Amino acid sequence: MYTFLSPYTFANGATVRNRIMLAPMTNFASAENGEVTAEELAYYRERSRGAGTVVTAVANVTPGGKGFPGEIGIDRDELVGSLSKLATTIQAEGAKAIVQIFHAGRMAPPDLLPDRQTVSASAVAPEREGATTPRELTEAEIQEIIKAFGDATRRAIQAGFDGVEIHGANTYLIQQFFSPHSNRRDDQWGGSVEKRMRFPLAVVREVLKAAEEADEQFIIGYRISPEEREEPGITMEDTLKFVNELANEELDYLHISVQDFFAGSMRDSSDKRSRVELIQDEVGAKIPVVGVGSLQIPDDVEQAMEGGVPLIALGRELVVEPQWVEKAASGRTDEIRTELSVDDREQLVVPESLWNAIVNRPGWFPVKEHAEN
DSSP per-residue string spanning 343-368: T-HHHHT--HHHHHHHHTSTTSS-EE
* Cβ 99 vs Cβ 91: under 8 Å: no
Q: Which residues share a beta bridge with 368? A: 341
Per-residue pLDDT at 82 exceeds 80? yes
Please, what's the b/e burial string for 106-115 (b: 16 or more CB within 10 A of its CB; e: otherwise)? bbbeeebbee
* Cβ 166 vs Cβ 222: under 8 Å: yes
Sign of CA dihedral 74, 254, 56, 81: negative
For residue range 319-371, what is the model confidence (pLDDT) as tens digits?
999 999 999 999 999 999 999 998 999 999 999 999 999 999 999 999 987 76
Q: What is the pLDDT of residue 234?
A: 98
Antiparallel, parallel or unpaired: β 119-120 and 72-73: unpaired
Residue from 294, 202, 277, 281 nearest 244 by CA: 281
Q: What is the amino acid identity at position 84?
A: S
Per-residue pLDDT at 372 exceeds 80? no
pTM confidence score = 0.98
For domain 3-338, the CATH superfamily is Aldolase class I (3.20.20.70)
Between the two ends of the chain, the Cα-to-Cα distance in Å is 33
User: Torsion angle, CA of 9/89/164/223, rounded to 10 degrees?
Assistant: 80
Residue from 126, 358, 166, 355 nearest 249 by CA: 166
Per-residue pLDDT at 294 exceeds 70? yes
Beta-strand runs (E) in the chain: 8-9, 15-16, 20-22, 53-60, 72-73, 96-102, 119-120, 135-136, 163-168, 219-224, 253-256, 289-292, 311-314, 340-341, 367-368
Q: What is the pLDDT of residue 200?
A: 99
Q: Which of 8, 43, 44, 172 is catalytic?
A: 172
For residue 200, the number of C-alpha atoms closer than 13 Å in the C-beta half-sphere is 34
Per-residue pLDDT at 373 exceeds 60? no
Q: What is the pLDDT of residue 369?
A: 77
Per-residue pLDDT at 80 exceeds 80? yes
Q: Is 172 a catalytic residue?
A: yes
For residue range 88-112, what is the model confidence (pLDDT) as tens digits?
999 999 999 999 999 999 999 999 9
* Every domain of the chain and the residues it spans: 3-338
Residues 150-169, mean pLDDT to the nearest whole number:
98
* Cβ 6 vs Cβ 22: under 8 Å: no
Q: What is the pLDDT of residue 368?
A: 87
